[in-house]
A and B are shown apart, each in its own frame.
Chain A
Amino acid sequence: MSLLDVCDLSVTFGRRHRPALDGVCFSLDAGCRLGVIGESGSGKTVTALAVMGLLPEYARVSGKVELAGHQITHLSEAGLARLRGDVVTMVFQEPMTALDPTMRVGRQVAEVLRLHAGTESGPARAAVINMLGEVGLEDPERVADAYPHQLSGGQRQRVSLAMALINAPDLVICDEPTTALDVTVQATVLAKLNDVLDASGAACLFISHDLAVVSQVCDQVAVMLDGRIVETGSVAELFARPQHPYTQGLVATARLDQTIPGQRLPVVEDFYRPGVSR
């Protein structure tokens, strides 16, 4: 049985029931990593929030989300709270706003342990400092005592990473964790993410709009477009033989080095025009 099983998941918002997700199906085995790729508004984040059970109350959800044997869509808020942080955790896109400005960073990371493992603050602090070091923060003692505004974006994102990983979850959802970082910091954070995921053996749902980033972390990719998954496959397969025209466009624009000099650079619209192929 797979760790995460999403079947025919549809989510609509608003009075006109405009679908944000439209019959999404995928599954993820324990320890595996799946990249979800797509443009803004394609439903990537909604998928992640649906798996966490964090969709706003006014969202209408149908279909099945099964995580570690629990039906997410049928769980109470208290039942969800037990799963979140313990079985599944999440790393958010914006490191500047994902940490509480009034709380010291170390306490914020320790909060997860306190909530789920019931760890006392003494041993929790040791675990926190250990984890902060593991995600590649220098001087973890000082970082643990700092407020978020005293850290850089890269440091904060590592703290978010530590927060997501400290309680050894089965699944980590990364929602564009490196989008707000510059390219060099992005590379080091991704490398660290790879390391800690390898070390913990956690599964990962990695959401990004950047095919190159996804290929660094994941072996399987799902391409989302307008609330549907239009193509899935291994990263190598996808790069070599993209099937859907939209994927062909994505791959072509990601491989600009293969463009003949002097020629016009490819754009996604060369391969896929919204509303034409549907």
Chain B
Amino acid sequence: MKRAQLIAGVVLVGVVVLATVVSLFWMPFDPLRVVPGQRLLPPGPVHWLGTDGFGIDIFSRLLLGARSVLLVGIISVGLAAVVGIPLGMLAGQAGGWIDDVVMRLSDVVYALPALLLAILLASVFGASTVTAMVSIGVATIPAFARVARAGTLQVMAADYVLAARASGTSWWGVAWRHVAPNIAPVLGVQASVGFAMAILAEAALSYLGLATPRPNPTWGNMLRDAQDYIFVAPLQAVWPGLAIAMAVLGFNLLGDGLRDYLDPRLREVP
């Protein structure tokens, strides 16, 4: 059952990755060129998923949109992980006032609505993929810090940390050799779930016009464009919606499956 989850997750995520890779080499039509004569065509043998209100092939736009999904996910989760995990581990292992300062700062960031940050950044620097990545990443830092801190506290209370210190392992040695490997599974799950959240957030931001600007397609702004023709060509909204749902589900399943896979206690004896 767990294995099926992991496989389903890998397959769904694999589809997104594949779409990104394919888009680098081949797309059936130019996803940016407006063709006035071919507006709102239904799915068919030429335009597999039909065309949108500008006469652009939807399948091509979906392929191109997959790129920004992966890019935004990787960069924003990476940013949150690189900042949040060391801070959380530091807070958990050092304790005392360091813990207080780090976690209160993280509370402050957590209390700041991500949307507000996105609007702020977009109004100062102009809406772009970068502002979306930064605002999603910053908003996700507290989640990583908290998960890392909770895991670290649990590991620090374990006998094997005491045993490691009793064999002369230094503070950094404990962090690197014992805390990090033991909290890696939960962080892997957090990264995967965070990735799913980032995809949703990116879709929401680009729907609102706070991320990648037109004419570059993202699944979010495709959804926004489809809204204008929702009664004329309802299928046009289904495709990007389906793509978003599939990617989010895929990363969630992957996270769950990954946790079991990374835990040596649950691994089968070789």
Contact A83 B168 (CB under 8 A): yes
- Given contacts A92-B159, A98-B160, A100-B160, is CB(A54)–CB(B165) below 8 Å? yes
Q: Assess whether B264 is interfacial by the CB under 8 Å rule.
A: yes
Within 8 A of B (CB), among A142-180: 147, 149-150, 160, 163-164
Contact B158 A97 (CB under 8 A): yes
Contact A99 B168 (CB under 8 A): no
Contact B166 A97 (CB under 8 A): no
CB A97 to nearest CB in B, in angstroms, measures: 4
Flag the segment in B23-31, B49-57, B175-183 that touches A: B175-183
CB B57 to nearest CB in A, in angstroms, measures: 49
CA–CA, A111 and B177, complex, Å: 10
- Given contacts A100-B178, A147-B264, A150-B269, is CB(A81)–CB(B159) below 8 Å? no
Within 8 A of A (CB), among B39-67: none
Contact B167 A101 (CB under 8 A): no
Q: Assess whether A270 is interfacial by the CB under 8 Å rule.
A: no
List residues of chain B with CB within 8 A of the CB of A86.
Answer: 168
List residues of chain A with CB within 8 A of the CB of B167.
Answer: 84-85, 89, 111-112, 115, 163-164
CA–CA, A77 and B173, complex, Å: 13
CA–CA, A79 and B222, complex, Å: 62
Q: Assess whether B164 is interfacial by the CB under 8 Å rule.
A: yes
Q: Assess whether B170 is interfacial by the CB under 8 Å rule.
A: yes
> Do most interface residues of chain B lie in helix, strand or loop, or is the interface mixed?
helix
Q: Assess whether B128 is interfacial by the CB under 8 Å rule.
A: no
- Of chain B, the residue at the smallest CB distance from A109 is B167
CA–CA, A57 and B264, complex, Å: 32
CB B82 to nearest CB in A, in angstroms, measures: 22
CB A229 to nearest CB in B, in angstroms, measures: 23
Contact A115 B159 (CB under 8 A): no
CA–CA, A81 and B269, complex, Å: 35
Contact B163 A77 (CB under 8 A): no
**Interface 1/0 per residue, A88-130 and B, CB below 8 Å:** 0110101001111111000000011001100000000000000
CB B191 to nearest CB in A, in angstroms, measures: 18
Contact B169 A115 (CB under 8 A): yes
- Of chain A, the residue at the smallest CB distance from B185 is A102
Q: Assess whether B162 is interfacial by the CB under 8 Å rule.
A: yes
Given A84-B165, A100-B178, A112-B167, 12 more A-B residue pairs with CB atoms under 8 Å apart are A54-B162, A81-B168, A81-B170, A82-B168, A85-B168, A92-B159, A97-B158, A100-B177, A101-B160, A101-B182, A103-B177, A115-B173
B-side residues, CB < 8 A to A, are: 96, 158-160, 162-171, 173, 177-178, 181-182, 184, 264-265, 269
3 shortest A-B CB distances, which residue pairs? A85-B168, A85-B167, A97-B159
15 A-B residue contacts at CB 8 Å? A81-B165, A83-B168, A89-B167, A92-B162, A97-B160, A98-B160, A98-B162, A100-B177, A101-B160, A102-B264, A103-B177, A111-B177, A112-B168, A163-B163, A163-B167
